[in-house]
Amino acid sequence: MSPVPTAGCCGSPALPGRTHRTIRICERQGVPIVADLAYRSGDPWLTTGIKRRPLQELGLTEKTRNRALAATRAPVERGVARLKSWRIFRRSRCGPNRTTSIAKAVLTLELQR
């Protein structure tokens, strides 16, 4: 699997998508993490939305919390989507450090658009 360019909360290099190194680094430094509903963990540093249980609707408080978390994650999701739109990452075979350098260059170019 090729590395997924992730800026990470602590400026870590790009790592394969299955790597949890960034989460551990942020945990050691006391940096909280906001993740999507797909991520399940009992990690106290990790905040996720509330999943709807089968045959039950979420309450107003739960829906409001999910909206707030989604709004917090939206800029990061947009950034990742922009990185994915650049052809250079589609078949990237270079190492994590090189991928990180390329991602930083692409994000700089995106800011200049």
> Is 63 or 5 the better-scoring residue by pLDDT?
63
CA nearest to 104, candidates 5, 2, 35: 5
pTM to 2 decimal places: 0.57
The tokens for 51 are 């999943």
pLDDT in tens, 7-33: 443 455 555 555 567 777 778 888 888
Ranges 3-7, 37-41, 96-100: which has the least confidence: 3-7
3-state secondary structure labels for all residues of the chain: CCCECCCCCCCCCCECCCCCHHHHHHHHHCCCEECCCCCCCCCCCEECCCCCCCCCCCCHHHHHHHHHHHHHHHHHHHHHHHHHHCHHHCCCCCCHHHHHHHHHHHHHHHHHC
Contact between residue 3 and residue 92 where contact means Cβ atoms under 8 Å apart: yes
pLDDT in tens, 38-92: 776 667 777 888 888 888 999 999 999 999 988 988 888 887 787 777 777 777 7
Question: Over 50: is that where the pLDDT of 6 sits?
Answer: no
